[in-house]
């Protein structure tokens, strides 16, 4: 396992639509293990493969790790099969858009299906933070960042703040 570099917006690779995984093999399991290690190293609760430069439909989540428990979950080729009409607004951030936080409205509950790390088909009903995090990470698989859900003005301000932070980091 190794920590991989995380792509930072506006890296154009973050806008790619990820390709489905055709089979779960040792290469995919190594990628998943690296993604989990990278997510923990960055103190995140979710990470999509594209965020480490691999355009495959894979994501990892651990919404419990903030409570100092580790329960990583692997989602390969996830799809949302149902989403509630009821929505929830939560503050979101992103490892690829560091230090930017804003409120995003998403479905409050979802149903999804996906392959686990062994290639077995799984079904999930989720609500709250798990539902929000899964929707956020699945957006990455389609080339969408959470700031894309913001108004044009808020998105512009967030990306300018990010660019300014990058410049300051390079100058120091």
For β-strands 58-61 and 109-115, DSSP reports them as: unpaired
Measured between alpha carbons, how far is 68 from 66 in angstroms, rounded to an integer?
5
* Burial class for 91, CB neighbours closer than 10 Å (0-12, 13-18, 19+): exposed
Distance in angstroms (rounded) separating the CA atoms of residues 73 and 70: 10
Residues written for the chain = 172
**Which one from 99, 105, 125, 137 is the annotated catalytic residue?**
137
Q: Is 64 an active-site residue?
A: no
Indicate which residues carry an active-site annotation: 137
């Amino acid at each position: 396992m190794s920590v991989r570099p995380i792509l930072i917006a506006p890296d154009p690779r973050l806008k790619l639509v990820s390709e489905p995984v055709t089979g779960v093999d040792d290469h995919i399991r190594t990628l998943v293990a690296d993604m989990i290690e990278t997510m923990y190293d960055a103190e995140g609760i979710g990470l999509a493969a594209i965020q480490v430069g691999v355009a495959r439909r894979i994501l990892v989540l651990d919404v419990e790790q903030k409570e100092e428990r580790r329960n990583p979950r692997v989602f390969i080729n996830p799809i949302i099969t149902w989403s509630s009409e009821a929505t929830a607004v939560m503050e979101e951030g992103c490892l690829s858009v560091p230090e930017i936080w804003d409120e995003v409205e998403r479905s409050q509950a979802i149903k999804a299906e996906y392959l686990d790390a062994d290639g077995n088909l799984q079904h999930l009903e989720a609500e709250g933070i798990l539902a929000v995090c899964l929707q956020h990470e699945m957006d990455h698989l389609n080339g969408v960042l959470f700031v894309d859900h913001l108004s044009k003005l808020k998105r512009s301000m967030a990306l300018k703040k990010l660019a300014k932070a990058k410049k300051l980091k390079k100058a120091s």
